[in-house]
Structure 1
Amino acid sequence: MAATGSGLPDGVTRVLAVVAHPDDESFGLGGLLALLSDSGVPAAVLCLTHGEASTLHGRPGDLHAVRADELARAARELGVTRVELAGHPDGGLTGIPPHRLAAEVTRLLDEQRPSHLLVFDEGGVTGHRDHQQATRAALSAARRADVAVLGWTLPQDVADRLNEEFGTSFSGRDPAACRVVEPVPRGRQHRAIACHASQASGNPVLWRRLELLGDREYLRILP
């Protein structure tokens, strides 16, 4: 799909986002979810883990509970209409039978009837195995339901810059093969990020990524 000027793809009328961890909906998809809300497009979120294994702990308390609360507050900031938080082990999604994860996505597809799923691009964007598994589950369910899938991705130059500066493992795409969505409402995304206080502090990669992207995000139609 060639790059386009701006805006969401045609035919997006209701969205279900499938992510691995609380904060993925804000740190990664936040600009897009805020844009959907501003455009009057209902969006729900299925998050597969509580993110309890994170090495970041910017708030006191048990991360299992803390991050569930952060997700709920961030979702309200983004205008998400529904959040469902599953209890799979953080860092262990690859150990869950794929059909079980796909069945959870299918259940919400049946309930929400979205026109599109929204996920991290194939490869997980960050290289995290949980991100990859969440996307695989969403794609499996989407194939059965014949629902289109939008993959949030990074342009190759931004991925390369982050990897060079921080030693990360981001994967990027040729911008000419993506849809460019602009402008995205970063103010709402920043407020949602602030809801994830346990994870947002001490996270320079996040802020550098947003700086490099400016008011643009990039999407691919996944097979």
Structure 2
Amino acid sequence: MSGPALPPWRSVLAVVAHPDDESFGLGAVLSAFVEQGTAVRVLCLTRGEASTLHGVPGDLDAVRERELVDAAKEIGLVGVLLRSYPDGGLAAVALDALAAEAREAARAADADGIVAFDSTGVTGHQDHVRATEAALAAAAVLDLPVLGWTLPRTVADTLNVELGSSFAGHDDDAIDLVVPVDRTRQLRAVTCHASQAVPGSVLWRRLDLLAGREHLRWLTTPSAPAPSTERTGAPAPAATSKDWITP
């Protein structure tokens, strides 16, 4: 296992499936990038409209967009690109289309690297798996490194036993970076997602178990890009300045 430092990227794109993934999952990692001076942007592929949690009144489509923008401000993101692919249905969306979205967003951000959930999806949600597949396919075309957020196997196993969840973790020898984090920004961002941060959520127990550390794996590096079937796919419309939401 290597040292705790994050890569010294000038700009990073995080690719996630749902509003709140940037906070509940990646929040401490993204804020650590922000604190070292990295310009961080997020591409979110769905609006989270199919969530079974509804901690505040209102149409989730609109509520969760507002929550995402507010959370992005707390983390210190430069911009957010919110798309409207079907929540809960990303696996049925052509990988070419999703990868093109990630590729164009990474180009627009002039990203030095991409951050995503681990290739397992971490939580068991297939949308998370698909979002990472899109990130990896885009990175293969652009020759960019991808860092995947993951959990130690001991933490995943504890959550699954205690709460009946479906987290996937890794043994220590499969984890590349163990990064000390300050969760102040992350916790402020989480509170912005009032529709999802309900009492009793598995989130709180996970944060207890992780304490002040986050765990990352290199999913691909420029010298060893991930295989892709996306290279010949039709390009997505380039992300313009009006598409990016500035928190």
Instruction: Provide TM-score, normalisation by structure 2.
Output: 0.87
Letter in 1 for 2:165: T
Give 1:44's aligned residue: 41
CA contact (8 A) 1:175 1:218 kept: no
Letter in 2 for 1:157: T
Q: Given the superposition, is the C-alpha separation of residues 14 and 162 from structure 1 closer, same or farther in structure 2, using an over 3 Å criterion? A: same
Give ranges in structure 1 of 5+ residues lacking alignment.
none
3-state SS in 1 of match to 2:91: helix
Give % identity: 55
Give 2:5's aligned residue: 7
Give ranges in structure 2 of 5+ residues lacking alignment.
221-247
Q: How far off its partner does 1:125 sit?
A: 0.5
Q: Deviations over 1:141-163 (max 9, x none)?
A: 10011000000000000000000
**CA distance in 1: counterparts of 2:219 and 2:38, whole angstroms:** 20
Give 1:166's aligned residue: 163
Identify, as 1 or 2, the structure richer in helix. 1
Give 1:68's aligned residue: 65
Q: How far off its partner does 1:202 sit?
A: 2.9
**CA distance in 2: counterparts of 1:86 and 1:175, whole angstroms:** 35
Q: Deviations over 1:22-62 (max 9, x none)?
A: 00000000000111111111110000001011011011100
Matched, 1:198 2:195: yes
**CA distance in 1: counterparts of 2:135 and 2:178, whole angstroms:** 22
CA contact (8 A) 1:49 1:89 kept: yes
Matched, 1:58 2:37: no
Matched, 1:177 2:174: yes
3-state SS in 2 of match to 1:190: helix
Q: How far off its partner does 1:203 sit?
A: 4.1
| Number of residue-to-residue matches in the alignment | 220
Matched, 1:132 2:156: no
Q: How far off its partner does 1:209 sit?
A: 0.3
Give 1:105's aligned residue: 102
CA contact (8 A) 1:59 1:197 kept: yes
3-state SS in 2 of match to 1:150: strand
CA contact (8 A) 1:59 1:198 kept: yes
Q: How far off its partner does 1:187 sit?
A: 1.2
